[in-house]
Amino acid sequence: MRAWAVVECGKPLQELEWTTPEPQGEQVLLEVTHAGVCHSDLHIWEGIYDLGSRGQMKLTDRGVVLPLAMGHEIVGRVLKCGPDAAGKVEVGKSYAVFPWVGCGKCAVCQAEEENMCLQPRSLGVYQNGGYATHVLATRWSHLVDIEGVDPSLAATYACSGITVYSAINKLLPMNPDEPIVLVGAGGLGLQAISILKALGHKAIISVDVGQDKLDAAAAMGATGTVLATKEGTTKRIIEAAGGPVAGVIDLVNGTETARFAFDALRKGGKLVQVGLFGGEMNIPLPLMPIRALTVQGSYVGNVKELRELMGIARSGKIASIPVANEPLQNADGVLNRLRAGKITGRVVLTAA
């Protein structure tokens, strides 16, 4: 098999030849046909997270081992099943691969909530992922049927899709006319607009630093847009929403966005933090109980949510975000364009 791997953090990806793995137990070997390029890949590639005054966290300190084929938004064709997966999935059929796997043994893993496992083994992070010709799914139950869904779009649901779906579920149920604010109008933000609309939500305000991204959000169905600047963003959000808001999903989650998102909340409001941009957040503690506020982190999603989301997509209710295809060997160039903010929607790498 060939892989386009991180050999040294921040340096160009290298094309490597590796031995194609043999599936064991419940594992399934797939030929990768589609692999989405996600913003979190930039953090893995760069090798660090910004923790504000606490410094930086290195991925190698968390057990990430190089060289690594990134890529956690994967659709592939089943080639071979391990002995305990035989007959569970169809050889030759294409599936989305759930990447956020854990140890497989603890209580949260047994409850199919592996993204909460304390011993993560995520594809494209701790195990080789989709920037390769082949990928090894940890178990057959991690393969999700995509029949009827464009495979390029289906790949994005394995991360950006379930990430925003899980975050949205932390706000709902909510009156469909109650404004929900989405900070960030990249691939995640557009996906969130599409999913909210599919779930029947009618008031969606998108916030971003780029007018082109806001134009894309409006085209996707955002009912209001706010251009984020150094000053006055909170005021403009409140004006666009007709008052302080009940729910904000921060898909950027940097020092500046956390501040204006928190300040826009009404009494009883909730801020769901998703992005990994980095920095830190200072909260006036008396306001938390006085205004009964909630700040909650949301980390990707679980395989149950991926199945639910794919079911909604298969019903035709979710509008497609803008998706562009590039050959797998262009992975390094796509990462650089993403880092430069030159991608609207999602780029999905495809096999030759």
Residue identified by tokens 């779009």 is 153
Q: What is the pLDDT of residues 182-230, one digit of tens each?
A: 999 999 999 999 999 999 999 999 999 999 999 999 999 999 999 999 9
Asked whether residue 270 falls in the same domain as residue 176, the answer is yes
CATH number of the domain encompassing residue 152: 3.90.180.10
Partners of residue 225 on adjacent β-strands: 206
Report H helices in 264-347: 287-290, 303-314, 331-339
Asked whether residue 107 falls in the same domain as residue 49, the answer is yes
352 has pLDDT over 70? no
Assigned domain for 260 exists: yes
Assigned domain for 226 exists: yes
Least confident stretch, 49-53, 114-118, 160-164: 49-53
Percent of the chain with pLDDT over 90: 92
Asked whether residue 78 falls in the same domain as residue 134, the answer is yes
**Whole-number Å distance between alpha carbons of 265 and 160:** 24
Q: What is the pLDDT of residues 64-76, one digit of tens each?
A: 999 999 999 999 9
* Domain extent for 35: 2-161+301-350
How many structural domains does the chain have?
Answer: 2
Asked whether residue 112 falls in the same domain as residue 259, the answer is no
pLDDT value, residue 139 = 97
Q: What is the pLDDT of residues 2-32, one digit of tens each?
A: 999 999 999 999 999 999 999 999 999 999 9
pTM of the full predicted structure?
A: 0.95
Asked whether residue 148 falls in the same domain as residue 186, the answer is no
- Tell the burial category of 352 from Cβ atoms under 10 Å away from its Cβ (0-12, 13-18, 19+): exposed
Asked whether residue 154 falls in the same domain as residue 7, the answer is yes
Ramachandran region, residue 199 (left: φ > 0; alpha: ψ -120 to 50; beta: rest): alpha
Q: How sure is the predictor about 63, in pLDDT bands with cuts at 50, 70 and 90?
A: confident
